[in-house]
Each structure stands twice: as C-alpha cells, then as structure tokens.
C-alpha cells in the first residue's frame, strides 16, 4: 500500500510540473507575440519532452 501511495504521489507531482511548464509556455508565447515560437522554443521542447517522459500509467 505504501508503494502504491508513493507511486501515486510521484505521478501527481510530475503531472503538476508538466502543467506548470505548459502555463509558463502559454505566458511566454503571449508575451513574445510574433516572436513567441522562436523565443519560447526551449520551453516548448521541454514541455514536449516532459509529456513523453511523464505518461500516465494505468
């Protein structure tokens, strides 16, 4: 039971980290305007990598 709780907690933390990066990416793109895709590329790459690494397992 403790292992399951630890796994759930870790999964939740990773999901929240992904959400924070997504929110920062949105802010960056809105703030940069026309240059958003270029100037926020590093954040978009990080977000894509996190989505691949932190898939929800059932």
Give 12-49 pLDDT, tens digit per residue. Answer: 999 999 999 999 999 999 999 888 889 999 999 999 99
| pLDDT of the residue at 54 | 82
Give the DSSP letter string of 7-48: HHHHHHHHHHHHHHHHHHHHHHHHHHGGGHHHHTHHHHHHHH
pLDDT at 57 over 60: no
Give the number of C-alpha atoms closer than 13 A to the C-alpha of residue 11, restricted to the C-beta side: 10
CB-CB contact of 9 with 2 (8 Å): no
| pLDDT of the residue at 58 | 46
């Amino acid at each position: 039971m403790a292992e399951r709780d630890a796994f759930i907690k870790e999964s939740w933390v990773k999901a929240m980290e992904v959400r924070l990066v997504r929110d920062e990416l949105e802010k960056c793109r809105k703030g940069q305007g026309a240059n958003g895709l270029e100037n926020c590329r590093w954040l978009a790459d990080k977000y894509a990598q996190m989505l691949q690494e932190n898939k929800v397992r059932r």
